[in-house]
Chain A
């Protein structure tokens, strides 16, 4: 079974600074997707960024980028120029890409990010 581990229950960052959230995962599959989801207080979870395991290039979405290390099974999220609106729970998630495989998302426990003005 796949597992996702987020070792930082809480992180804080000053507005306009950069912060990195860590995620490691365990799988025996070779093809999969990795995600970072953001869950603001009392609001729905939204996708921040997605990485396909077969792609060596790290995904970027504006101020958000990942450092994907497949051999190390590591998938960290970097948020640059942090904004107050970035404050939320961030979840790392895994999904199999095997044809006919499970489509469920496996989530980590999350990291609560606080942005200080």
Chain B
């Protein structure tokens, strides 16, 4: 149980375009979802926290207009990187928690490359 999927696993896009990453909880209802960014050989950096039906809470230094997060249902959250630039290239990981459960379940990650 407690499986989280991400799609796509890898994406390459041109500079200036937008790309959407999906995060789904497959067998539980995710009341809260989290988006992390991981730079090479570094730890995870929390970008934002989103609760279903509410606006996301962004960490300091994360541009909310650049990284649009939507958590429209209890099983799906999306991260849209708008007007992507090469410096946005990174590994993006989502995680989710269920009702009354503090445990975070991580997705497999999405490798974004902006050319």
A, B co-complexed: no
Write the residues of chain A forming the contact surface with B, with a CB cutoff of 8 angstroms: none
B interface vs A, CB < 8 Å?
none
